[in-house]
Amino acid sequence: MRQLAKTIQRKLFVFIDGGTTNLAAARIIPERLSTTVATQYPAITAALATRQDITLIMIGEQVRPHLGAAVGVEATGNCGKAR
């Protein structure tokens, strides 16, 4: 997990997919990165929402309860537009 979080560097655009492993990694992203993070996972959005050093983009459509993430054609298409 720590190795994954360490791969995020300053000024990058990063998409973090949903899931508990990615949520745990998002929680330990180093401070002062000045990076942009996009996700379709509300729990990751909540975990990063107060970070002043991260520009956070929530990609969405309908949130599927069994996944806990926004999925669908529009959400997938928005991933490519988020940059």
Q: Over the stretch 33-45, which tens digit does the pLDDT of each residue have?
A: 889 999 988 899 9
Distance CA 76, CA 2 (A): 27
Whole-prediction pTM: 0.75
Residue-wise pLDDT for 3-46, tens only, equals: 766 777 778 898 998 899 999 999 999 888 889 999 988 899 99
E strand segments, the chain: 13-16, 35-39, 54-58, 62-64, 69-71
Alpha helices, DSSP H only, in 7-41? 20-27
Is 37:54 a contact under the CB 8 Å cutoff? yes
Angle at 27 between CA 43 and CA 59, to 5 degrees: 40
Whether residue 80 is predicted with pLDDT greater than 70 in this model: the reply is no
pLDDT number for residue 6: 73
Confidence of residue 65 (pLDDT cuts 50, 70, 90): confident
